[in-house]
Every structure is written in structure tokens, then in C-alpha cells.
């Protein structure tokens, strides 16, 4: 099943694949399940599309072990979020990242995801982490004030030239890419890689009209992501697209039938414009 998803992403021409991120449900998986996922991914698309593996864990030693597992299996990069039960200080997060980056020995992306981790990276902390060996990128949430260009300029001024600034939050992807960010860490591309790539390439080319047109086709889906959480909606999408018969891990509950109908309508809206997507 996993290979089916990954082959579609590779065939669409994605620049990389994020494995075991939030949509991959990494926080709900045991070490053995994560190891199996990375092994399958490498067997399926390794050497063809770079694979970035999420290694977040509550304890530093566990995250270090997951980072080593990913490297040993053939991953190309790592994604790390500061998971916690007790709220973390900046120094605790710095030491956590330093230890995992050293253990993994691969390019590592800072995962700034305050909606789930309840920790927000300050500019100063990002700048400090960017000086560490192997820390190569940051995955940012959408800025509350919508000023992508200002935030990107500010972060680039305090990080090395090679440091990449990207964004999550699919409904802001077009604006982020048009503002010049280095990457869109997409949720929807896991199941709809071709239209997601079309949006990406249009925005990267500076074609704001094409990007707006494609983004408008996605808009009903973005509304559902914000209403129900993209994690829940993606399970519905996988079922409706006939790619898998799966439900989210408990305690996350499946969405209602009414929500299923709304997701189906959103997918139909995308299909209706698919012929005009370059």
C-alpha cells in the first residue's frame, strides 16, 4: 500500500518525499513500524526521489535511535519536531536537535509545527540551530500576518546561504512559493501529486495567474483541511480515490458521512479543472 502512494508521487515528478511526517502519523507508530515504512520506501523509490524521514520522539535518545535507523535504511534526510509532554525551553530544544543531528549524520530539517507540538521556534533559535552541522532547512507554519516575503527575508538574513526556508499549511502554499520560499512541505501531494506539482511549478515560475487558478480549484479542499484537520481529511481522500481502505489511528475518529460528501465534492471540483492544469 505504501509503495503505491510513493510510486504515484515519484511518477508525478516531486522533488522529494516526506515520509513519517504529521500526515504519516509518525507519532502513533512504534519503532518497528517506522523502520518498516522507511525500508519499504527505500526499496520502492530509493535512489529515484530523495526521501526525508520524520524522526520525532518524546525522548532524545529515542529520536537519536530513529535517526540512526533512517540513515541505515537509506534515507536522504531527516525531519525533526520537538515532541514533548512537559513544555520545552529553547535550550532544551537546542540540545535535543544538536544530539539528533549528530546521531543521524544526514541533512536535517527543523519542523516548526506549533499547532501540534505547542512549541514555537524563535528567529534566534532557528539562527542558532542553523549553525549546527547537518541542520539544513526549516519547515515553517504559515505566518499569522501573511507576510511571507518579510519572514523569508528575515530568516535568510540570519541563516547560512545554503539554509532552505519552506512552509507547510497547504492553503498558503501558493502565496509562500510566489514570495520565493524554497519548498512547500505539502500534505495534499501525498495523494494528489500531479495537481500539487502543477501549483508548485506555476508559483515557482512566478506565474501568479496560473497559480491562482489552480489554487482556486483546491480551495474547497483547503477549507476542509482547516475545518477538520488535514490528517482526518486525507484518510477520507485515500478511501474515495480507491487507493486504500484505512481509518485513522484511535483516538482519532473517522469523519462523518456528511464530511465524506464534502470531501468528494472537493475532489470533483479538482477533477473538473484537471484538463486545464499544465
Binding residues for pyruvate: 23
Evaluate whether 70 touches 55 at the Cβ level (below 8 Å): yes
Backbone angles phi, psi at 258, to 5 degrees: -60, -40
Using CB atoms within 10 A of its CB, is residue 131 exposed (0-12), middle (13-18) or buried (19+)? exposed
Peptide bond into 225 cis (omega under 30): no
Span between the terminal Cα atoms of the chain, in Å: 28
Reading the block at residue 247, the C-alpha cell is 481509518
131 classed as catalytic? no
235 classed as catalytic? no
Residue entry with cell 468528494: 264
Evaluate whether 78 touches 84 at the Cβ level (below 8 Å): no
Cα torsion 187, 120, 53, 17: sign? positive
State the catalytic residue, choosing from 26, 71, 111, 185: 111
User: Binding site residues, as ranges?
Assistant: 23
State the catalytic residue, choosing from 139, 167, 185, 235: 139
Q: What is the DSSP letter of 275?
A: G
Reading the block at residue 271, the C-alpha cell is 477533477
Residues with a known catalytic role:
111, 139
Amino acid at each position: 500500500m505504501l509503495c503505491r502512494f510513493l510510486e504515484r508521487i515519484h511518477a508525478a515528478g516531486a522533488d522529494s518525499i516526506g515520509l513519517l511526517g504529521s500526515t504519516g502519523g509518525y507519532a502513533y507508530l512504534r519503532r518497528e513500524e517506522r523502520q518498516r515504512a522507511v525500508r519499504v520506501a527505500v526499496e520502492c523509490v530509493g535512489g529515484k526521489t530523495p526521501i526525508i524521514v520524520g524522526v520525532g520522539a518524546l525522548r532524545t535518545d529515542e529520536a537519536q535511535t530513529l535517526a540512526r535507523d533512517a540513515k541505515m535504511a537509506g534515507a536522504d534526510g531527516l525531519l525533526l519536531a520537538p515532541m514533548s509532554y512537559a513544555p520545552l525551553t529553547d535550550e532544551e530544544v537546542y540540545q535535543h536537535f544538536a544530539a539528533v543531528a549528530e546521531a543521524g549524520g544526514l541533512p536535517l530539517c527543523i519542523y516548526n509545527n506549533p499547532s501540534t507540538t505547542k512549541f514555537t521556534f524563535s528567529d534566534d533559535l532557528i539562527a542558532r540551530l542553523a549553525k549546527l552541522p547537518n541542520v539544513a532547512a526549516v519547515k515553517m507554519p504559515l505566518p499569522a500576518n501573511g507576510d511571507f516575503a518579510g519572514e523569508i527575508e528575515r530568516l535568510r538574513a540570519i541563516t547560512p546561504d545554503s539554509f532552505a526556508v519552506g512552509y507547510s499549511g497547504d492553503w498558503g502554499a501558493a502565496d509562500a512559493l510566489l514570495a520565493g520560499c524554497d519548498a512547500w512541505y505539502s500534505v495534499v501531494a501525498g495523494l494528489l501529486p500531479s495537481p500539487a506539482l502543477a501549483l508548485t511549478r506555476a508559483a515557482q515560475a512566478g506565474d501568479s495567474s496560473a497559480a491562482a487558478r489552480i489554487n482556486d480549484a483546491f480551495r474547497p479542499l483547503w477549507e476542509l483541511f482547516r475545518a477538520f484537520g488535514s490528517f482526518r481529511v486525507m484518510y477520507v481522500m485515500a478511501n474515495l480515490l480507491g487507493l486504500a481502505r484505512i481509518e485513522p489511528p484511535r483516538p482519532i475518529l473517522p469523519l462523518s458521512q456528511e464530511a465524506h460528501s464534502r470531501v468528494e465534492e472537493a475532489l470533483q471540483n479538482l477533477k473538473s479543472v484537471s484538463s486545464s492544469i499544465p
